[in-house]
Chain A
């Protein structure tokens, strides 16, 4: 799992570009629960993305990764709401923007690549029309200009025979093709940040690899930042500059790719990594009792305490602070794993 040393140098380079593009400070998102205190889906999350950086956000279902991705666009899934913290994009607090300002931001400066493109594209409109809708909303193009740009975008995402596909309806596309269409829409206005929300999870492995390559090439080609939300930690090893691991609404570890993969500190990170390991004993040790509930035992305490194989008494009563272990490498654990 060791990577080339020049990658970390690249990360330092992008970090030196000054202010981060996106900065999330103490973000807390809650879902009201019937007859109970609301449960935070995101708990005091600090997170940032530099310009041109590709960051992987890894977590299992229900960990809050989609909520985080959508909170960036100020579109928390109903009935959730942002109860604390700020999302700064180029220094602007997105929480203070009005609906029309947000509308101008979405799709133009921050765009989203979704996971179920055939279900999320409008079934009654052609591909060209749906790309056109976005261009019409965010650019001064019209008529022939929109069509030309749509064709250009389809070509950029390597869709064969774009002149034919531009008139296709979503149900006529394969999963991989639909995914490319959604990428074309995401890139239509040359955004500064692209958020990919588990975008490749529904695809065959070979198609997935193609789409990922394409996504990274396009993003790096335009100097766009990419937040790559996924369940598959293996993908982040190949495609990301930096990796963050989210568990039960908290980022438990984050760091530059090489530092993270060479020396993961949080037991949960190791659990995720060991799921891919060949060594049966290693896997059995770190996975522990997988039948244990993912929910935390009580309000205080480490969110991972219930499932952690290294849990101590202290973990159950005190939520660990974020600690730095190396340049840009943070973890939240009382008893971090030493090498």
Chain B
């Protein structure tokens, strides 16, 4: 009951939060110099034509009015169209946002698989080979730019060894994509029973997921190691040792107590990577959401940018809600 009341209260604040986020990003994007009408009609446009287009787009009104009109449309489910793709932003994002989500989710799963065991091993041993590996890994992952690492992987596995597919999107052109249901190619291929597409999509995911997973395992490893180490030195671990509990039980309990911090860092990484994966998306021509938003900013294409901000904001709010629920499950003191 307590939990439901909590979720209800959280959802109550979602609408004003989203409005605030939209307002700020609307103003920020408007501050960027550049006239969409000029960009759309090109260098040979006439003054009359420009004025007409501005009126059509509502650009001749005050900025607050423009924002009001935009919000009213959003409430009707219309995020406007992108003049670059000439498609509604909703349908563009329906395709691109899942592409990014699939990439980021799998990457973070890999990062967890690397970061947590290495972090725990590092925390368990004050010295020794595993501790060294953990330390160097954290250092390396923190200092490598992800797009450069992506290029190295492409060079090795595509150019030299030829085992990876070309970094040109999520599927080979000859493969017929499955009907979009969730937007995740893996899941949709399974639903459609399209095994050729499944294999091909998975193949295309390997290098970008390796890139983002290996790089982002760094912060997860560091957080796991430092928190678990602190928990191992805390009173309850010392008491567990006094009780003669086996080492693996002591470490397991310490890790459990470290979980809230790990959940936090993963949620922060998740929110960050939705937009932050953009360089890797560009390297692999992924056609993801971050790439879409950056194109929008560069070309004064306002609607894709705001649509991306709105989607990311909703996703972040959902993630933080999930994080709170996880705290709830992990720590009885929050119940």
- Which A residues contact B (CB, under 8 angstroms)? 70, 73, 75, 78, 102-108, 111-112, 114, 116, 119-125, 133-134, 137-138, 169, 171-172, 185
Contact B246 A137 (CB under 8 A): yes
Contact B244 A120, beta carbon cutoff 8 Å: no
B65 / chain A contacts, CB cutoff of 8 Å: none
Q: Are B331 and A133 in contact (CB under 8 A)?
A: no
Contact A123 to B236, CB < 8 A, known contacts A169-B332, A169-B333, A171-B333: yes
9 new A-B contacts at CB < 8 Å, known A112-B243, A172-B332, A185-B243:
A70-B242, A103-B245, A106-B242, A108-B244, A120-B239, A122-B236, A122-B257, A124-B331, A138-B244
CB proximity of B333 to chain A, nearest CB, Å = 5
- Contact partner of A103 (CB less than 8 A), chosen from B233, B239, B246, is B246
Partner of A133, one of B249, B330, B332: B249
Interface residue ranges of B204-235 to A (CB < 8 Å): 233, 235
How far apart sit A137 and B243, CA to CA, in the bound complex (Å)?
A: 9
Name the one of B235, B247, B249 contacting A116, with C-beta atoms under 8 angstroms: B235
Q: Among A75, A102, A123, A124, which residue has the most Cβ atoms of chain B within 10 A?
A: A124
Which B residues touch A107, using CB under 8 A? 242-245
Q: Are B240 and A122 in contact (CB under 8 A)?
A: yes
Q: Which residues of A contact B244 (CB under 8 A)?
A: 102-108, 134, 137-138
Q: Are the C-beta atoms of A123 and B331 separated by less than 8 Å?
A: yes
Interface of B is mostly: helix
| Interchain nearest-CB distance for A231 vs B (Å) | 19
Find chain B residues with CB under 8 A from A121 CB.
Answer: 236, 239
Interface, chain B (partner A; CB < 8 A) = 233, 235-236, 238-247, 249, 253, 256-257, 330-333
A73 touching B242 by the CB < 8 A rule? yes
Whole-angstrom distance between the alpha carbons of A125 and B256 in the complex?
10
- A-B CB contact pairs (8 Å), 28 listed: A73-B242, A75-B238, A75-B242, A103-B245, A103-B247, A104-B244, A106-B242, A107-B243, A107-B244, A108-B244, A114-B239, A114-B242, A120-B236, A120-B239, A121-B236, A122-B236, A123-B331, A123-B332, A124-B256, A124-B330, A124-B331, A133-B240, A134-B243, A134-B244, A137-B246, A169-B333, A171-B332, A185-B243
Structural contact, A137 and B245, CB atoms closer than 8 A: yes
A78 to B229, CA, bound (A): 14
* Contact status A123-B257, CB under 8 Å: yes
Q: Which of A70, A103, A122 has the most CB of B within 10 A?
A: A122
The residue that A134 contacts in the complex, of B245, B331, B332, B333, with Cβ under 8 A, is B245
A121, closest chain B residue (CB): B236
Q: Which residues of A contact B256 (CB under 8 A)?
A: 124
- Quote the shortest CB–CB distance from A138 to chain B (angstroms): 7
Q: Which residues of A contact B235 (CB under 8 A)?
A: 116, 119-120
Distance of A133 Cα from B233 Cα, bound (Å): 19
Specify which chain B residues have a CB less than 8 angstroms from the CB of A137 in the assembled complex: 243-246, 249
Q: What's the Cα separation between A63 and B244 when bound, in Å?
A: 26
A103: chain B residues within 8 A (beta carbon)? 244-247
Q: Which residue of B lies closest to A99 (CB)?
A: B247
Judge whether B246 and A125 touch: CB under 8 Å.
no
Residues of A within 8 A of B240 (CB): 122, 133
* A-side contacts of B331, CB under 8 Å: 123-124
Chain B positions within 8 Å of A172 at CB level:
332
Residues of chain B with a CB closer than 8 A to A102's CB:
244
In the bound complex, what is the Cα–Cα distance between A113 and B240 (angstroms)?
12
The residue among A70, A103, A171 with the most chain B CB atoms within 10 A of its own CB is: A103
How far apart are the CA atoms of A185 and B253 in the complex, in Å? Answer: 17
Instruction: Indicate if the CB atoms of B242 and A112 lie closer than 8 Å.
Output: yes
CB distance from A182 to the nearest CB of B (A): 8
Q: Which residues of B contact A119 (CB under 8 A)?
A: 235-236
On chain A, the residues within 8 Å of B239 by CB distance are: 112, 114, 120-121
Give 4 nearest A-B pairs by CB, closest first: A106-B244, A107-B244, A107-B243, A120-B239
| CB nearest neighbor in A for B239 | A120
Chain B residues contacting A171 (CB-CB under 8 Å) are: 332-333
Q: Which residue of B lies closest to A126 (CB)?
A: B332
User: Do the beta carbons of A133 and B243 come within 8 Å of each other?
Assistant: yes
Measured CA separation A78–B253 after assembly (Å): 21
What are the residues of chain A within 8 A of B257 when measuring CB–CB? 122-124
**Shortest CB distance A336–B (Å):** 37
Residues of B near A75 (CB, < 8 A) are: 238, 241-242
Chain B residue at minimal CB-CB distance from A138: B244
By a CB distance below 8 angstroms, the chain B residues around A104 are: 244
**Residue of A whose beta carbon sits closest to that of B335:** A169
Smallest CB-CB separation from A106: which chain B residue? Answer: B244
CB A65 to nearest CB in B, in angstroms, measures 16
How far, in Å, is A143 (CB) from chain B's closest CB? 17
Shortest distance between the CB of B243 and any CB in chain A (Å)? 4
Residues in A whose Cβ lies below 8 Å from that of B247 = 103
CA distance A73 to B242 in the complex (A): 7
The answer to whether A122 touches B253 (Cβ under 8 A) is yes
Task: A108 to B244: give the CA distance in the assembly, Å.
Answer: 8
**Which residues of A lie under 8 Å from residue B238 when comparing CB positions?**
75, 120
Residues from chain A with Cβ under 8 Å of B245 in the complex: 103, 107, 133-134, 137
A106 CA / B249 CA spacing, docked (Å): 15
Kindly list chain B residues whose C-beta atoms are within 8 Å of the C-beta of A78. 233
Known: A116-B235, A169-B333, A171-B332. A124 touches B243 (CB 8 A): no
What is the CA–CA distance of A289 and B135 in the complex, to the nearest angstrom? 53
- Return chain B residues, CB-CB under 8 Å to A73: 242
